[in-house]
Amino acid sequence: MTGILLFFSTFVCPTEILAFNDRLDEFHKINTEVVAASVDSHFTHLAWVNTPRKEGGLGKLKIPLLSDLTHKISLDYGVYLSDQGHTLRGLFIIDKNGVLRQITMNDLPVGRSVDETLRLVQAFQYTDEKGEVCPAGWKPGQDTIIPDPEKKKTYFNKKEKKEKKTKKEL
């Protein structure tokens, strides 16, 4: 199973946690679990889930909230700002073998994208299964590249033909 570890700390966080929570079924369909972590206590988490969404709370969640009171997990992942007492907005994709595949680290004022996280998980799973590589912006069903000096040309020739056709249509 793939894992997503999502660190949260500020006012943008409820929007992210709720966005991931509301689309958790999509993650489960691709055999992926999502866990949200903060340096707050489990009592703080309980208060947050007992606060209605319309008041900035989380309400009932399907995503587990992990309390990292000792800051060990946050320090181990490099997201804890000890001089400020909170974490950065870190997101980690960990594959079924426990290998860290992707890190996203946002400064506090900007939230993360559920769409991009889903895309990345799907791309890593595809490359692991097929042995091919995914070009920039790849989405399931799109062409991939065979990582071989000769075979890669199939992708690039096809791409060039599509681009020429698009230019003619314009």
More confident call, 3 vs 166? 3
Query: Are residue 85 and residue 36 in the same domain, yes or no?
Result: yes
Mean pLDDT of the region 9-32 = 93
At residue 120 the predicted structure's pLDDT band, cuts being 50, 70 and 90, is very high
Check pLDDT > 80 for residue 121.
Answer: yes
The answer to whether 72 and 41 have CB atoms below 8 angstroms apart is no
- What is the pLDDT at residue 9? 84
Q: Is 49 helix (H, G, I), strand (E, B) or coil?
A: helix
CA 15 vs CA 30, 56, 90, 133, 145: distances in Å: 23, 9, 15, 32, 35
Query: Are residue 104 and residue 136 in the same domain, yes or no?
Result: no
Give the residue numbers spanning the domain of 136.
Answer: 132-170
> Residue type at 121?
V
CATH number at residue 25: 3.40.30.10
Check pLDDT > 90 for residue 119.
Answer: yes
Check pLDDT > 80 for residue 167.
Answer: no
The pLDDT mean for the chain works out to 93
Residues annotated catalytic, as ranges = 13
* Percentage of the residues of the chain whose pLDDT score is greater than 70: 99
Lateral strand order in the sheet of 65-67: 65-67, 32-38, 2-7, 89-94, 100-106
Domain count, the chain: 2
Query: Are residue 151 and residue 72 in the same domain, yes or no?
Result: no
Query: Are residue 97 and residue 144 in the same domain, yes or no?
Result: no
* Percentage of the residues of the chain whose pLDDT score is greater than 90: 78
Instruction: Report if pTM > 0.85.
Output: yes
At residue 169 the predicted structure's pLDDT band, cuts being 50, 70 and 90, is confident
Check pLDDT > 80 for residue 75.
Answer: yes
Query: Are residue 150 and residue 97 in the same domain, yes or no?
Result: no
Query: Are residue 20 and residue 87 in the same domain, yes or no?
Result: yes
